A and B are shown apart, each in its own frame.
Chain A
Amino acid sequence: MVDMDLSQPPFTLLDDSGRERVVRGVDLLYFSRDEIILDAGQPGEFMYIIHKGEIAELDPHAPSDQARIAHYTAGDLFGAISILKGTSRYRFKVEQESLCYAMPRSLFEHLCCDYPAFAEFFRRGLAQKTRLLAERRAESGVNMAGFMLARVSACMRAPLIVESTTSIAAAVNRLNESHADSLLVGNNGRFGVVTKTDLLNALVMEGATQARPVVTIAHFELVSAGPDQYLFEALVQMTRHQVARVVVVERDLPVGVVELTDVLSYFSSRSYMVSLELEQAGDLEALARASARLPALVQALMAQGIKLRFVMDLLAALNGRIVDKAYQFLIDPRYRVQSCLLVMGSEGRGEQILKTDQDNALIVADDSYWPDRAMAMQRFTETLYTLGYPPCPGNIMVSNPAWVDSESGWRRTVSRWVERRDEASLMNLAIMLDARGVAGDTRLLDRLREYLFDSCSHDELLLSYLARAALHFAAPLTLFGTLKKPRHGIDIKKGGIFPIVHGVRTLALECRIDETSTLARLAALAEQGRLEADFAADLGEALALFIELRLKQQLTRLDGRQNSDEPNLVVVQALSSLERDLLRQALHIVKDFQQRLTHRFHLEY
């Protein structure tokens, strides 16, 4: 007689009789505050499922500020690993009085024996659990199958029909007016299609006059589809007949046209359209319009369950294009070739999904002469602001003269930073390491980075100073407040993203890796043998998870559903138990990584 919620994994991996066994076999236990349920080294006799309350997992051997390993609340499981391993590795302590279901060891082992999928759940690594989450998200959101099942009618546009007497000139006018690529010509109840290519061929290759009736160049063998057919059938038709459009016919009358680009953009959910719009933007206004559509694009891509790193890559490319375009519009080509615009910080690493603060700098060639540079840069910063990039609070922008310098000037600055190695200089070095050239002559940046590597990568002392910052926020979980605080949660930027990003950055500096994105750096580090491939992959997954959690919060803010002003704070209680489980494991990996860094750069004291 227990009201257990068995609709979450791993219980979904059991069948009804298995769940019945769970319900019949569990006991109820009450724990008061500060009680220790299971201590390190004790044999695991029960798997606990929390009905109510909060329980912390602590490492009794770690110093108190780092002891906290995980946090469990209603719906979470713990103790299973202790049963599988024989003894518990950590101490489980009650944070808030808790009511738990306790599943005896024998029942747990029998279930594991009878349901291999159930047993597998507890043995899985982080990457596989992430996959489970992605699958779940794909189920809940719009998935690819939904797109594949779209009908032709969902994506067709109204046909452009002209009389058979229309001249070529009039036809071209109509095409331009309605921004179409093709039109239909009616002739004695039959319809033919005329495309822009047909018009070009007729006018240029055959030398037809503008007054010639358009019907003479129309094709009357139509490739057609019904409005109720699946969209992918239309796609198959186009591929088979090597055309770029099908005419939608209903009862012998054309009711619409489906263009290849429409289908593709439909399938890729507007990503194609946004990038096309970006490329075609002829002025700042059009650029701003295209840039404003990026958040919706991110939302659509995430809803389709596309892996976060691909979304990040796409967004990094698109943001880079926006900044590049803006630079082109504002800066005279004469000066463009003499300079290199850098984006830095998360934008430089390509890890920013939504628009973040502008973090940029400019390298100017030594021999350039650019009198009103300061003014141009001021205008550029303001322009980016109108494009939706808020100014950097630390003033790391090209409007700040400190971040605009000649090549040799930058070298001197870097040397100064390396010499001083105080907090601000180390931060600036870290920022510079992530710089990515987006516009102008990127060779300037390549040379500067070479110089940076030359002066830093062998400087053990500097590296350990730099690495220390990754340990600065070493207790990611102390910010778990009690439930009573109105808004609390863990800061995943400080506790998860920053240690990974910064640690990987330091290792990349040591190994002279040119890549700026953390995931690419991890791949390169694994290739060089600096990190094991498994560990690098886990770190990447952990980072992706943190970014995804943050993104989810940012997206809810976009929707206006929630009004929190700190997207980095993740309220653990609001997560599903699977997500909590993932977060817990990801933080474990961060901790592991921090320990490796401590070891490598001798930061023990």
Chain B
Amino acid sequence: MIRSLRRAADRRRQGHGRYDWLFSPYAGDELVAIDCETTGLDTRTAELVSIAAVRIKGERVMTSDSLDLHLQPPASLHGDSIKIHRLRGVDLNDGDELGEALEKFLDFIGNRPLLGWCVDYDLAVIDRQLRPLFGFGLPNPCVDVARLYRREMHRTRPQLEPTMNFERVAEALNVPVMGRHTALGDATTTALMYVRLKKGALAAS
């Protein structure tokens, strides 16, 4: 609700700006799976470390045409998150600047619908970074694969309480987990999960 109000306000403000095309409705058949690695789990303080996006066209996951961005090490990069995504400060020294990276990201995703695992979290972090620099949040419609999975499970097997762990879901959907805790790997896995769910993986078995 709040999101759509903000989107309406953003659209009015961006009416004739460089990014007004992002606000027009999407007519194609592609989606973009996104994932980011951040410095923490709190959407108010976490900063971006890397962003990845993979296009999905029909049943094809276009890994050959994907985006994998590493950013300059943010100030809040510390040990706990490094243990998870394994990107140290030195690994990021030749990364993009935040503004530059977000620009590439926007150009890549365009106005296609987005897809992610618990995508609200990624959106919140990206929006927080995007707003001061560009003056708007991501206007794209979003699909949360975790929620989609829960709904499908509930529909096909109402008696079960689904486990909502990323690896377990991947296993249940018979999807290989590619490079866990790298942004691109998680984005690819999420994309595969989505394709499987759309093709009725749960209904069949």
**Residues in B whose Cβ lies below 8 Å from that of A32:** 199-200, 204
Q: Is A488 an interface residue (CB 8 A)?
A: no
Q: Are A1 and B185 in contact (CB under 8 A)?
A: yes
Interface bits B174-189 vs A (CB < 8 Å: 1, else 0): 1110110010110110
Q: Does A2 contact B (CB under 8 A)?
A: yes
Asked whether A59 is an interface residue with its Cβ less than 8 Å from the other chain, the reply is no
Decide yes or no whether B192 CB sits under 8 A from chain A: yes
- By beta carbon, the residue of chain B nearest A104 is B64
Known: A2-B188, A52-B176. A30 touches B64 (CB 8 A): no
State whether the Cβ of A28 lies closer than 8 Å to any Cβ in chain B: yes
Q: How far is the CB of A26 from chain B (nearest CB, A)?
A: 6
Report how far A32 CA is from B195 CA in the complex, Å: 11
A51 with B176: CB separation less than 8 A: yes
- Could you tell me if A26 and B174 are in contact, using CB atoms closer than 8 angstroms? no
Asked if B68 CB lies within 8 Å of chain A CBs, one says yes
Check A1 against B188 for contact (C-beta < 8 Å).
Answer: yes
Which residues of A are found within 8 Å of B191, using beta-carbon distances?
A: 28
* Residue contact A27 to B204, C-beta cutoff 8 Å: no
Stretch binding the partner chain, chosen from B55-63, B71-79, B141-149: B55-63
Asked if B85 lies at the interface with its beta carbon under 8 angstroms from chain A, I say no
Q: Which residue of B52, B64, B184 is within 8 Å of A27 (Cβ)?
A: B64
A164 to chain B, nearest CB (A): 78
Q: How far does the alpha carbon of A75 sit from the alpha carbon of B196 in the complex, in Å?
A: 21
Instruction: Write out the residue numbers on chain A whose beta carbons fall within 8 Å of the beta carbon of B192.
Output: 28, 30, 99
Q: Cβ of A33 and Cβ of B63 under 8 Å apart?
A: no
Q: How far is the CB of A49 from chain B (nearest CB, A)?
A: 13
**Cβ A27 vs Cβ B60 within 8 A:** yes
Question: Bound complex: CA of A27 vs CA of B195, how far in Å?
Answer: 13
Q: B39: CB under 8 A from chain A?
A: no
Proximity bits, B117-128, A CB within 8 Å = 1, else 0:
000000000000
Flag if B179 contacts A1 (CB, 8 Å): yes
* Contact B59 A1, beta carbon cutoff 8 Å: no
A30 and B199 within 8 A (CB): yes
Contact partners of A24 in chain B: CB under 8 A: 64
- Give the residues in chain A near B59, CB-CB below 8 Å: 29-31
Chain A, Cβ-Cβ closest to B195: A30
B63 touches A26 (CB 8 A): yes
CB distance from B135 to the nearest CB of A (A): 32
CB nearest to A31 among chain B residues: B59
Q: Given A1-B185, A51-B176, are A28 and B63 neighbors across the interface (CB < 8 Å)?
A: yes
Find out whether the CB atom of B176 lies under 8 angstroms from the CB atom of A99.
yes
Q: Are B61 and A29 in contact (CB under 8 A)?
A: yes
Complex Cα spacing A318 to B104, Å: 74
Inter-chain contacts of B63 with A (CB < 8 A): 1-2, 26-28
Q: Are B176 and A3 in contact (CB under 8 A)?
A: yes
Indicate if B111 sits at the interface (CB-CB under 8 A): no
B199 and A26: CB pair below 8 A? no
* Bound CA–CA A382/B191 (angstroms): 68
Cβ-defined contact, A33 with B176, below 8 A:
no
A65-108 Cβ-contact flags toward B at 8 Å (1 or 0): 00000000000000000000000000000000101001010000
Contacts of A97 in B (CB 8 A): 174, 201, 204
B66 at the interface (CB under 8 A from A): yes
Q: Contacting B182 at CB < 8 Å: which of A1, A30, A52, A102?
A: A1
Is A25 close to B, CB under 8 A? Answer: yes
Q: Which of A12-37 contact B (CB under 8 A)?
A: 24-33
CB contacts (< 8 Å) of B175 on chain A: these are 99
Residue of A nearest to B66 (CB): A1
Interface size class on chain B is 20 to 34
Q: Which of A203-245 contact B (CB under 8 A)?
A: none
Contact mask for chain A residues 167-203; partner B; CB cutoff 8 A; 1 contact, 0 none:
0000000000000000000000000000000000000
Alpha-carbon distance A51/B187, docked complex (angstroms): 18
| Bound Cα distance from A319 to B60, whole angstroms | 58
In angstroms, Cα B185 to Cα A3, docked, is 9
- Which residues of chain A have C-beta atoms less than 8 A from B62's C-beta? 27
Chain B residues, Cβ within 8 Å of A1? 52, 54, 63, 66, 68, 178-179, 182, 184-185, 187-188
A3 and B179 contacting across the interface, CB-CB below 8 Å = yes
With a cutoff of 8 Å between Cβ atoms, the chain A residues found around residue B68 in the complex are 1
Contact residues in A for B187 (Cβ distance below 8 Å): 1
Residues of the B chain whose Cβ atoms lie less than 8 Å from the Cβ of A3: 176, 178-179
> Complex Cα distance A102/B59, Å?
12
Contact A33 B195 (CB under 8 A): no
Q: How far is the CB of A233 from chain B (nearest CB, A)?
A: 54
| Cα(A25)–Cα(B201), bound, Å | 27
Closest chain A CB from B21 CB (angstroms): 26
A-side contacts of B182, CB under 8 Å: 1
Instruction: Write the A233-265 contact mask toward B (1 if CB under 8 angstroms, else 0).
Output: 000000000000000000000000000000000
Kindly provide the distance from the CB of A1 to the nearest chain B CB, expressed in whole angstroms: 4
Tell me the bound Cα distance from A51 to B188 in angstroms. Answer: 14
- In the complex, the answer to whether B178 meets A30 with C-beta atoms within 8 Å is no
> In the complex, what residue of chain B is closest to A51 when comparing beta carbons?
B176
**B61: chain A residues within 8 A (beta carbon):** 27-30
Given A27-B60, A27-B63, A32-B199, are A2 and B178 neighbors across the interface (CB < 8 Å)? Answer: yes
Complexed CA–CA distance, A102 and B200 (Å): 22
Q: Is the CB of A26 within 8 A of B64?
A: yes
Task: Report Cα–Cα, A229/B192, bound state, in Å.
Answer: 61
Bound together, the chains give a CA A30 to CA B189 distance in angstroms of: 12
Residues in A neighbouring B60, C-beta threshold 8 A: 27-29, 102
Interface residues of A in 100-124 (CB under 8 A from B): 102, 104
Contacts of B176 in A (CB 8 A): 3, 51-52, 99
Write the chain B residue with the least CB distance to A103: B64
Complex Cα gap A24–B61 (Å):
13
Q: How far is the CA of A52 from the CA of B61 in the complex (A)?
A: 15
Most buried by B among A25, A30, A52, A104: A30
Known: A28-B61, A30-B61. 14 other contacts (CB 8 A): A1-B52, A1-B68, A1-B187, A3-B176, A3-B178, A27-B60, A27-B61, A30-B195, A30-B196, A33-B204, A52-B176, A97-B174, A99-B175, A102-B60
> What are the 10 tightest A-B residue pairs by CB atom distance, in nearest-first order?
A28-B61, A1-B184, A25-B64, A30-B195, A27-B62, A32-B199, A27-B60, A29-B60, A27-B64, A1-B188
13 A-B pairs with CB atoms under 8 Å apart are A1-B178, A1-B185, A3-B178, A24-B64, A26-B64, A27-B61, A27-B62, A27-B64, A28-B60, A28-B192, A30-B192, A30-B196, A32-B199
